[in-house]
């Protein structure tokens, strides 16, 4: 891989995981006044509008792809945007953000396990060791082994909900492998468009049954600026950056970068005047070591690119960009190349 593209992918993954770290800080007070179902619906309604504009301008026949693959796009979108967000933020209501960060760090294990079980691809020792070291690092950040690691029944329930939600994001990431003809922008946008009606139906049904609380106009006015930030940065920009990084470096390494989320929370807290503790510094060192262990170039590729989400090259796109079609690539194709 071109070193510039590799560095670009790493920067994208760092940006995405840092933005998701800010989502914990902003989202915790928001779900205190806004039901997680309505939080998710509003978040993705705003995000889908932005994504639809982007994919309409820069996508390659996106609406034809939407009609052709609407079933799979809706399923993966509901899993990644609906199940993950709703369960994660219901869990955040009951548990601590640090616990949620630790549980997000289990996704490399889940990804490797699913690839082993469903694809027959046994993870390398390097990949398993890196995931284990990273998990120890985020556990140290959360001080789960110290005096503050006492769990209550409510905390356990919240953690269980968050853990169940992470499965949705793992399935969403894997789902891109079944749609290799879509670049990261198209996959991100079209899954959002296809799943939004289902999120709306589920939210309205839950509200009618008394399982969710309809937000008042005053609440919506109060949370408006925060919701705009949540939709634009940790949702649209972060999802595009994450899918770009996964396309270039592979799903296992992309999932490993999720361990940066709790570290980004530490950095923001330090910037706000809260000095990091010893366990947080130890965790940062462990996570950094895990990232180096997995990203350092070895004699052979860590994983096969052909079986990873968002990594298969679109033959039509390659032909267009290499001039074999006899036509000049459009602006949309040129932008799509940047996501390749």
Could you give the C-alpha distances from 236 to 23, 31, 44, 185, 186, in angstroms and in order?
A: 12, 20, 9, 10, 12
Residue 39 lies in a domain: yes
User: Side-chain half-sphere of 274: how many Cα atoms within 13 Å?
Assistant: 8
Residue 5 lies in a domain: no
Identify the CA nearest to 86 among candidates 195, 245, 13.
Answer: 195
Task: Please tell me the predicted confidence (pLDDT) of residue 54.
Answer: 93
The CA-CA-CA angle for residues 223, 228, 232, to 5°, reads 150
Identify the CA nearest to 48 among candidates 177, 211, 236, 228.
Answer: 236
Residue 4 lies in a domain: no
Residue 3 lies in a domain: no
Task: Please tell me the predicted confidence (pLDDT) of residue 263.
Answer: 74
Q: What pTM did the predictor assign?
A: 0.73
Residue 277 lies in a domain: yes
Task: Please tell me the predicted confidence (pLDDT) of residue 212.
Answer: 92
Looking at the structure of the chain, the number of domains it has is 1
Distance between CA 82 and CA 10 in Å, rounded? 27
User: Side-chain half-sphere of 106: how many Cα atoms within 13 Å?
Assistant: 15
Residue 321 lies in a domain: yes
10-residue stretch averages of pLDDT, the chain, 340 residues long:
79 88 83 93 95 93 94 95 93 77 74 78 81 78 64 76 88 86 91 97 96 92 93 90 84 75 74 73 77 59 39 36 40 41
Task: Please tell me the predicted confidence (pLDDT) of residue 87.
Answer: 94
Residue 298 lies in a domain: yes
Residue 6 lies in a domain: no
Task: Please tell me the predicted confidence (pLDDT) of residue 187.
Answer: 93
Range of the domain at 145: 14-338
């Amino acid at each position: 891989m071109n070193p510039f593209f590799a560095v670009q992918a790493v920067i994208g993954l760092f940006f995405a995981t840092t933005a998701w770290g800010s989502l914990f800080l902003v989202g915790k007070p928001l779900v205190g006044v806004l039901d997680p179902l309505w939080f998710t619906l509003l978040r993705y309604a705003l995000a889908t509008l932005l994504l639809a504009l982007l994919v309409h301008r820069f996508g390659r026949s996106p609406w034809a792809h939407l009609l052709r693959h609407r079933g799979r796009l809706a399923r993966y979108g509901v899993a990644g945007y609906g199940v993950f967000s709703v369960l994660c933020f219901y869990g955040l209501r009951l548990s601590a953000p640090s616990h949620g960060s630790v549980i997000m760090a289990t996704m490399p294990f889940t990804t490797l396990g699913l690839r082993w079980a469903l694809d027959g691809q046994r993870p390398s020792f390097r990949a398993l060791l890196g995931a284990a070291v990273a998990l120890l690092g985020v556990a140290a950040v959360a001080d789960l082994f110290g005096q503050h690691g006492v769990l209550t029944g409510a905390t356990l329930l919240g953690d269980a909900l968050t853990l169940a939600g992470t499965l949705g994001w793992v399935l969403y990431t894997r789902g891109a492998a079944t749609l290799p003809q879509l670049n990261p922008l198209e996959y991100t946008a079209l899954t959002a468009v296809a799943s939004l009606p289902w999120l709306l139906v589920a939210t309205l049904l839950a509200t009618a049954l008394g399982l969710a609380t309809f937000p008042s106009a005053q609440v919506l006015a109060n949370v408006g600026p925060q919701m705009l930030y949540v939709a634009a940065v940790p949702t649209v920009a972060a999802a595009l950056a994450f899918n770009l990084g996964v396309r270039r470096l592979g799903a296992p390494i992309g999932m490993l970068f999720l361990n940066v989320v709790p570290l980004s929370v530490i950095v923001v807290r330090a910037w706000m005047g809260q000095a990091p503790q010893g366990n947080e510094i130890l965790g940062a060192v462990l996570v950094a070591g895990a990232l180096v262990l997995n990203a350092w170039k070895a004699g052979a590729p860590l994983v096969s690119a052909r079986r990873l989400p968002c990594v298969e090259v679109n033959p039509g796109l390659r032909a267009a960009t290499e001039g074999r079609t006899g036509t000049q690539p459009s602006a949309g194709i040129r932008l799509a190349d940047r996501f390749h």
